[in-house]
Structure 1
Amino acid sequence: MTEAYTYTPLERVYWDAKVEEALLKEVDLLDLKKVFVVASSTLSNKTKEISKIQEVLGKKFVGLFDRCLEHSPLENVIECVNEVKKVNPDIILTIGGGTPIDTVKVVQLCIAKGIKTIEELKSITGKQHNLNSSIRQIAVPTTLSGGEYSIIGGAMDTKKKLKEGYFGSDICPKVVILDPHIATHTPDWLWLSTAIRSVDHAVEGFCSISENPLIAHNALQSLEMFSVSLRRTYANRN
């Protein structure tokens, strides 16, 4: 029986990179005119990282949303949608952990499907959507949970107190920038706990009844690497 693995539309991953340098490469490569930034409130309000990115972008910077809430409540997603639509950017630059990245995934889905309300958003949860999104994201992750590599986003129904899944064929980032410097702002407990979440992903991937040789190999290799790197990270956490 013939089987196949379909890659997500993630085009590039930069590693050991400075976000400002990689971002300027992407601005030229993708011919970006308007960049909207979604960032964690901690990075935005307690560090100079976001202001440095604004300075690098210059007139191409068209807005900032730094009010992402934990678990991406539906109300918060719609709030972000409205802010993005005001400026109609070419791309969203997302900087932070799983919360802002998930928020922007669902924001992309809303914009692609013309969704304006929580009720409309709830009507599409749990369904796979084939998209050709007009707005994608460049992600700069600061945790290790790995959500930037998937086409699945999560958002919280605060009335049910339930996090629901949203699926879109191109809601993964177009580009991922792995900047070790910006990740140093992440608290140790968050860095290490999200790493365990990735360990969980690897174990699930390897044990899945739908596993394939590509995923199985990557899962085992990631577990081997984590077994070394997490100990080193913990030993040098200060």
Structure 2
Amino acid sequence: MTLSQESFIPYSVTKPKPCISSGVPFPQAVAHHLIHTLKAHKPYLIVSKSISKTQDFVKLKRALNDAEHGLEIAGIRFGISSHTPWEEVLEVVRDARECGADALVTLGAGSLTDGGKVIALVSLYFLFFWSGAVGEVYMEKSRVANTIPIQALANNASTHDELAQLSADEVERSGRKVNPCQVPMINIPTSLSGGEYSSLAGVTDEQSREKVMFLHGDMGAEIVVLDPQLCESTPERVWLSSGIRAVDHCVEGLGYLGREGREDGVEEFRKGLRLLVPSLLVTKTEKENADARMKSMWGVVEAMKGLGNGVQMGASHGMGHQLGPFGVGHGETSCIFLPQVLKFNARHAPSTSNPSHVLDPQKAILSLLWAETPVKSVLEKRGLSQETADAGDVIGAIVDELGLPRTLKDVGVGRDKFDALTKNCLKDRWLATNPVPVTTKEQVREILEMCAGDGK
């Protein structure tokens, strides 16, 4: 059941979850789908601290505290810190259980989205059946309590060690069975990070400062609500840098497919780039251009569809995972690493078994972006020529035009952090799937040196 003027479509033909809602104000869409699609009535809200101070959040609270339609907010969490700290995830799990919530709603992006996915994965309190298809939820508390062992309903975790046992690496090592998520979730993204379309989530272990990945095919939202007007309040640097993160998905996705000689996913990544890069450049100069923001949001959808084909990322993503816990935003890690990783790959392509598998995707990216008029204008303004530039030059020029950080120095990360970064980076699975596999500390240090920005 959809609203008038609403578009409500499945994410893709092969993956119906999440459904994507657009075309109506987000408070109206969320309230409608909690009641009519998810059959939920006590949502737990996770909202970014900045948005919680706006009228947008006031409107959402008003829509979800609707006694006439049986809606009541069970509880609210104001913010989850950058890179989703381990202990904060457990805090929300405990609070949501005590509140008796029957759904999660996240308003924000990045850490909130990742946190929501892991919270839904480990929650135990929620007593209902979930059939796995959007719109097929029903409550039957007495039956659950009387006839089904509650331990079978979710993956209970209340401590650091219990959560660690559900990480992707630990599940792979131990062969542990991970139960499907039991808590339906709605995401309302306010950035372009794209986590709402992924069954992967990263949580930072505060003890080691290492990003730990969680992966389950059932993780993620049932519904994603897109509202470009809401996103006008997103800080410019957050919006644009998260857009470069989505560009990174497309670029490294094309690099991986080229290395593997595959075509599935290529068109999605290309379409994502054509939507993302021009619209980001427009948004930089026209903040209230809702059409440009919507194109960026659909560009993220295409990027994430490409990733859904079993595509692995490369060194920009892998090293970015480990730079994040040093206080650098997700998107900004891509601004710093992606241009230089492209140059690293081009430089070392001759050492691989098939250099054309490394270089051809970069040439295709260069041609694709140069064919977009807004992009071409920026590149030529910055003195680049299609005949002499490479993909690293092009991505770097776009990052510069958007006014985003390009070096580790720009984000306050000095050489004193290089040893710890190198150690953590080598643990990340995506360095080995880079078009030029990064498997030694010397290779990691080479990329860090390229990104240092201190002139040494």
- TM-score, normalization: structure 2? 0.49
Q: Name the CA distance, whole Å, in 2 between partners of 1:187 and 1:17.
A: 22
Cα distance 1:168–1:19, how it changes in 2: closer, same or farther (>3 A)? same
Match of 1:224 in 2: 274
Q: 2:95 aligns with which of 74, 79, 83?
A: 83
Match of 1:120 in 2: 162
**For this pair of structures, how many residues does the alignment match?**
233
Post-superposition Cα deviations, 1:164-223, rounded to whole Å, max 9, x if no partner, equal: 100122111110001112111111111000000000011122222468544211110010
Match of 1:61 in 2: 73
Other structure's SS at 1:138 match: strand
Match of 1:37 in 2: 45
Other structure's SS at 1:41 match: coil
Superposed CA RMSD: 2.1
Other structure's SS at 1:176 match: strand
Structure number with bigger Rg: 2
Structure 2 counterpart of 1:22, which letter? A
Match of 1:135 in 2: 183
Shift of 1:9: 5.5
Q: 2:225 aligns with which of 177, 187, 208?
A: 177
- TM-score, normalization: structure 1? 0.90
8 Å contact from structure 1 (residues 74, 155) kept in 2:
yes
Q: 2:193 aligns with which of 145, 155, 164?
A: 145
2:164 paired with 1:164: no
Post-superposition Cα deviations, 1:70-95, rounded to whole Å, max 9, x if no partner, equal: 11110000001011111232210101
Cα distance 1:36–1:118, how it changes in 2: closer, same or farther (>3 A)? same
Q: Name the CA distance, whole Å, in 2 between partners of 1:10 and 1:211.
A: 28
Greater relative contact order structure (CA < 8 Å, 6+ sep): 1
Deviates more, 1:49-58 or 1:210-219: 210-219
Shift of 1:6: 9.6
Deviates more, 1:88-97 or 1:149-158: 88-97
Q: Name the CA distance, whole Å, in 2 between partners of 1:72 and 1:81.
A: 13
Other structure's SS at 2:233 match: coil
Match of 2:340 in 1: none
Question: Which structure shows the bigger proportion of residues in helix conformation?
Answer: 2
- Which sections of structure 1, spanning at least 5 residues, go unmatched? none
8 Å contact from structure 1 (residues 35, 62) kept in 2:
yes
Cα distance 1:39–1:122, how it changes in 2: closer, same or farther (>3 A)? same
